[in-house]
Structure 1
Amino acid sequence: MCHHDRGYTIPVNLRNREETEIRRRSTMPAVAATTVDGILKKLKDLTPLIEAHSDEAEQNRCVSEKVSRAMLENGFFRMMRPESVGGPGLDPVTCFRMIEEMSRTDSAVGWNVALANGFEPFGAWGSKELVLSVMSSDDTVLCGGFFPPRKAVKVDGGYRLSGRTQFNSNCNAATWICGEALVFESEDASEPLKYESGAPMTILTFFPIKEAEIIENWDTLGMCGTGSHDVEVTDVFVPKEHTAPFVPLTEPEPEYAGPLHRLSIWPAIAAVAAPSLGIAQAAIDDFIELGKKVPSYTSNSLASRPVVQTQLGEAEAKLAAARALFHNTYDEMWQKALDGEYLELEDRSKCQMACSYAVTTSAEAVDLIHLAAGSSAIRNERRFQRHFRDIHVLTQHAFVSQSRLQSVGQISLGLEPEWPFFAL
């Protein structure tokens, strides 16, 4: 039975309020309001399809082919792709709100769309050949994993790539893989090459997923439908034109010369955080609907209990705070990018703080709903248990976990952050 059949459709007034906010917050001058309206309409039209296949994705641990195909055909996997590369050029903040809305309907779909869009900015590191032959294709869907880095051995014209990475979300629907690799001078070298700083030499690599093996081992507590399997390659040739030094970017190809590249990797990290807001909102939506009902063993509705009212109010406050910090921070950073500025270390710290806070605080909101829902929270026929499982899987993600706030504190104290991605 699909979620729509169970009565889990988001109340119309809440949906309309969110859509109005998405339209209002679109900050990309070049993107017409009709583009945002068109994407919103597509999302609304696809909601019944997403709901109908939600249980299937959970059971099969992979978003259904029908839903993934619909996401591709309607452009959701490339919302953040610049117009100059053939995409709609949606600004990051509006894109994150779309992702939040999708995650509100189905966490796995929202997550996979988030990750596909999160990899779009990495195209800015690519060569002209990569931009024109790969990134500009409507059929290109990116996925990838960064841990552990692969091994790239230098050969004539490029590299021989080997290695197995984890957490390749949406790999069943993707066509290209983007990832990090350590560069070795030869196959026999015991250590990677190093920069003058002593840091290991790393590159970004792009290669067709058909050249890799998907190892379907995604078996987790939550976010089950994302299909975040391991992907392995063995001695695959990657031409130099499909690689790039993974260093701070200042001079991309002209097609990526717009504001998006000035945010570097931080839209990708934000894309990881955005689904948490949708999951928390879905938990609140479901609880409000549950609160209207009167249990058979009592004459009072759940909504009439003071402790429940307090828990709901606190959950809503936490989500509102998380959402405000997240979107306001990226509004600020996007304005800097529009003004031609690159992000300073303090800006990158703000981004990390907003992303980690969004996930951890959304989890706190879901925990409150879990308590308030009582025994309804543990029944598989209701979505509360899924919200609880999903959000607590997200809290473990290395890019947005609570431990990243340690890095924020280190920067505030004038210390060197231990998280290497602050250098980008």
Structure 2
Amino acid sequence: MAPIVRAEAAASEALGTMTPKVVQAMKDAGLFWMLLEAKAGGFQAPMVDCMEAWEEIAAADGSAGWSLMANSTGTAVPYAFCSDEAVAEIYGGPEKPIMAGMLGPGGMAVETNGALQGSGKYRFGSGSLHATWVGSGMFVMDDKAMRKLPDGSPVVRVCWRPREEVKFEHEWDVMGLRGTGSVDYSLTDVTVPEGFHHERSITRSPRDWRLYDIGIAGLACAGHTGFALGVMRRALEEITRIAFGKKRPAYATVLGEQPVFRHDFAYHEASYHAARDFTLRFYGEIQDHLEAGGELTPAMRARFRQNCIFVHKVASEVVRFCHVMGGSESLRNPSDLGRCMRDIHVATQHIFVDTIAMQDIAVPILAEWQGFATRQAAV
């Protein structure tokens, strides 16, 4: 896949979405359905394998890696959390579906006999231009007041509808991730039958595969993190290529032989491996824990976001180092290193990567450490 994705990267960026050639190659390889159970026609792939696939495609082209992670995680969500009847309709056709959409609340709906009727406007529907079904989050209204969950937060139902019911805005003009097709879209007075919508915060799947119990947040964090690892890896590859063919005027030899560059490269390359090893170990342990019958603790769930934010911070630092060291070769278009810089810094603006969340993430993690310290003191 990677050579195809690399060769099509510039064309995808110009088109504003993955080219038909790349989309077809991903279909042929089955990558959109990595996270579907085998009995539904998917790979039921271990999460570590999925992380490595997102990394590989993102290293070939950040936009393609981003689109793939959005489509492959999104395609798992209605299968994991919709009713048996809805799953049979969505996934039982002659062609396997591809999902996309903005699952956060962008609209409002009222419920009648289990069905929702509502409208909404949504932004950043990554990968939606080749999707066949679209998910959209809606607040549920009762007498003009938002319905609340037991903890006081608003009910947000993720509604799944065929693309024919969605109106897309095809303008996507941004600094980075230009080939993701993350267009805006809207739904107008749609009816979502019972079973085709589910609570966004649900973390217990009615399906057999216990991996789905990581929930929407866990799936999303995994995809974003795999993307960031790939862009970071590509930047290190590009600066290595540049460093041994580039000699700056004030340097006695090529960049790759300069002691300061070597020193800093070694640290940043170690940062990539540390972030990657943390990620793969963490998701491997989570999957083993769930498939052994365990339930995720609050600290485990907090670490999905912790890992995602941390890896993006590392990636932005590594890519920036590579970009600065690339000098003018990072600036002149087309530039693969320049694309890495633009893509990773756009990715850091995503709500899942907002570092302010660390203050809340720390609460259950600190509680876990406090419990450990108390047990140690008792011993």
Aligned to 1:221: 175
Aligned to 1:276: 228
Residue among 121, 124, 134 paired with 1:167: 124
Mapped contact 1:177–1:206 kept (Cα < 8 A)? yes
For 1:65 and 1:381, how far apart are their aligned partners in 2?
A: 21
Aligned to 1:263: 214
For 1:227 and 1:250, how far apart are their aligned partners in 2?
A: 31
Aligned to 2:345: 392
CA deviation vs aligned residue, 1:261-302 (integer Å, no higher than 9, x gap): 222221222111211111010010011111121438566211
- Stretch moving more, 151-160 or 312-321: 151-160
Mapped contact 1:259–1:337 kept (Cα < 8 A)? yes
Report the CA distance shift for 1:178/1:342 in structure 2 as closer, same or farther (over 3 A). farther
For 1:113 and 1:375, how far apart are their aligned partners in 2?
A: 31
- Stretch moving more, 172-181 or 148-157: 148-157
Q: 1:344 offset after TM fit, Å?
A: 1.1
Aligned to 1:144: 101
Report the CA distance shift for 1:296/1:309 in structure 2 as closer, same or farther (over 3 A). closer
Q: Secondary structure at the match of 2:191?
A: strand
Q: How does 1:356-371 map to 2 (within 5 A)?
A: 356-371=309-324
Aligned to 2:265: 312
Aligned to 1:95: 50
Q: How does 1:295-306 map to 2 (within 5 A)?
A: 295=247, 297=249, 300-306=253-259
Residue among 10, 27, 49 paired with 1:55: 10
Mapped contact 1:218–1:228 kept (Cα < 8 A)? yes
Residue among 160, 180, 190 paired with 2:144: 190
2:136 paired with 1:179? yes
Report the CA distance shift for 1:391/1:197 in structure 2 as closer, same or farther (over 3 A). closer
Q: 1:201 offset after TM fit, Å?
A: 2.3
Residue among 282, 288, 311 paired with 2:240: 288
Report the CA distance shift for 1:130/1:87 in structure 2 as closer, same or farther (over 3 A). same
For 1:345 and 1:196, how far apart are their aligned partners in 2?
A: 17
**Paired amino acid for 1:111:** W
Q: 1:197 offset after TM fit, Å?
A: 4.1
CA deviation vs aligned residue, 1:46-86 (integer Å, no higher than 9, x gap): x3332222111112221112211221232111111111222
Report the CA distance shift for 1:249/1:281 in structure 2 as closer, same or farther (over 3 A). closer
For 2:342 and 2:63, how far apart are their aligned partners in 1?
A: 12
Report the CA distance shift for 1:68/1:251 in structure 2 as closer, same or farther (over 3 A). closer
Mapped contact 1:121–1:268 kept (Cα < 8 A)? no
Return the TM-score normalized by structure 1.
0.81
For 1:326 and 1:160, how far apart are their aligned partners in 2?
A: 40
Identity in percent:
26
Q: Secondary structure at the match of 2:351?
A: coil
Q: How does 1:330-369 map to 2 (within 5 A)?
A: 330-369=283-322
Residue among 154, 158, 162 paired with 2:115: 158
Mapped contact 1:360–1:401 kept (Cα < 8 A)? no
| Gaps in structure 2 of 5+ consecutive residues | 369-379
Mapped contact 2:3–2:60 kept (Cα < 8 A)? no
Q: 1:250 offset after TM fit, Å?
A: 3.1
Return the TM-score normalized by structure 2.
0.90
Aligned to 2:160: 206
Mapped contact 2:4–2:22 kept (Cα < 8 A)? yes
- Stretch moving more, 228-237 or 127-136: 127-136
CA deviation vs aligned residue, 1:27-64 (integer Å, no higher than 9, x gap): xxxxxxxxxxxxxxxx3xxx333222211111222111
Mapped contact 1:318–1:364 kept (Cα < 8 A)? no
Report the CA distance shift for 1:240/1:286 in structure 2 as closer, same or farther (over 3 A). same
Report the CA distance shift for 1:251/1:391 in structure 2 as closer, same or farther (over 3 A). closer
Q: Secondary structure at the match of 1:113?
A: helix
